[in-house]
């Protein structure tokens, strides 16, 4: 199919951050540039890429209208419909997850809604594109803040000798007023570490309001790999070792269980901190396709590791396809960030 034959264009490119933590819409703008010569009356353009409130109304629509001469809402229908895909989730898919739909005008929203319903998607109309853009940021900021809360109190629990995981499970038995989040090594992926920064940046830019809670949550989760490494260093010290004398096995490099995605993975930061401290680090991850990521060599399984030579293991990402029994049977001390293992040689944080 040639681009000039399209009826609907859906933009789903990444919206990362620049080096100074500013929104980077470069890939969105590149898509718009590519679309302009092929747009004609009747085409629907939908932005799905996560962005700050105002992007569709204030940037996408004016740019396309000016460069095509088409009237938005009459000749050209433009809307925003954030993606809600949870990689690796077997329960909630595109088919059974409600999808927010919005448009620059009421006619635009109707056209966007009709497109998604025509492919079997359950839609939830939202009054405006800014509200839909804000809703997407709110979803991921909610997760960021709650993960940061449990990560912060997990550090307290570890120092106090409390079992954070049991306490989270206990609190989760309350049928109202509590939603269960669990601690981990930090947050990764293209959403939670990134999207709240879009909201914080836009709030400061547009109304001069600093979102202190959001900024603190970003900082807590960013610091979490340092906490994990400090626990590992403490465990090595208990055994009379320091990082330059230690061989550390890092289990899991991807940011999420059973998903081969390395974007913003906290495991990469854990690896960098251990390497900077002088430790010899071996990485195992059965779902990463490449045998190396930059300078990081990745083994496929525990069987490829001489466990007798490992002083400490850190379980960062608990993929199902890992031989945990072999790790435990070898008696390797483990810092477990996912509460996957049990035993006297396991330290769960």
The catalytic site residues sit at 191
Sign of CA dihedral 238, 329, 349, 87: positive
CA distance 349 to 336: 6
CA distance 10 to 116: 11
Residue 99: phi and psi, rounded to 5, are -115, 125
Q: Which residues contact 312 (CB under 8 A, 6 or more apart)?
A: 232, 235, 236, 239, 241, 246, 247, 248, 249, 332, 333, 334, 335
End-to-end CA distance of the chain: 53
DSSP per residue, 51-111: --TTHIIIIIHHHHHHHH-PPBTTTBEEEE------TT-SSS-TTTS-EEEEESSHHHHHH
If one counts every other C-beta atom within 10 angstroms of the C-beta of residue 37, the result is 10
């Amino acid at each position: 199919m040639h681009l000039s034959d399209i009826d609907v264009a859906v933009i789903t490119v990444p919206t990362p951050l620049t080096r100074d933590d500013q929104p980077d819409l470069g890939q969105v703008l590149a898509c718009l540039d590519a679309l302009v010569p092929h747009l004609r009356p009747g085409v629907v353009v939908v932005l799905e890429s996560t962005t700050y409130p105002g992007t569709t109304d204030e940037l996408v629509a004016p740019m396309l209208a000016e460069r095509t001469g088409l009237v938005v809402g009459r000749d050209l229908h433009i809307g925003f419909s954030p993606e809600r895909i949870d990689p690796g989730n077997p329960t909630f898919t595109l088919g059974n997850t409600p999808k927010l739909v919005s448009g620059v005008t009421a006619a635009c929203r109707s056209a966007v809604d009709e497109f998604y319903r025509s492919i079997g998607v359950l839609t939830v109309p939202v009054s405006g594109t800014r509200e839909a853009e804000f809703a997407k940021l709110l979803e991921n900021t909610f997760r960021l803040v709650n993960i940061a809360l449990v990560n912060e109190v997990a550090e307290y629990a570890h120092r106090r000798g409390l079992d954070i995981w049991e306490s989270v499970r206990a609190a989760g038995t309350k049928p109202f007023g509590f939603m269960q989040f669990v601690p981990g090594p930090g947050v990764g992926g293209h959403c939670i570490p990134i999207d709240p920064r879009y909201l914080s940046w836009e709030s400061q830019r547009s109304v001069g309001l600093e979102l202190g809670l959001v900024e603190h949550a970003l900082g807590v989760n960013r610091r979490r790999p340092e906490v994990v490494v400090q626990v590992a260093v403490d465990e090595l010290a208990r055994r009379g070792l320091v990082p330059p004398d230690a061989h550390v096995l890092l289990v899991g490099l991807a940011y999420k269980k059973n998903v081969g995605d390395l974007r913003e993975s906290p495991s990469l930061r854990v690896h960098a901190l251990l390497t900077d401290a002088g430790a010899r680090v071996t990485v195992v991850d059965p779902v990463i396709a490449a045998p190396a990521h930059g300078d990081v060599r990745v083994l496929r399984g525990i069987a490829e590791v001489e466990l007798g030579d490992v002083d400490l293991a850190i379980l960062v990402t608990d993929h199902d396809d890992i031989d945990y029994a072999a790790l435990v049977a070898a008696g390797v001390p483990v810092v477990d960030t996912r509460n996957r293992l049990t035993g006297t040689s396991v330290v769960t944080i």
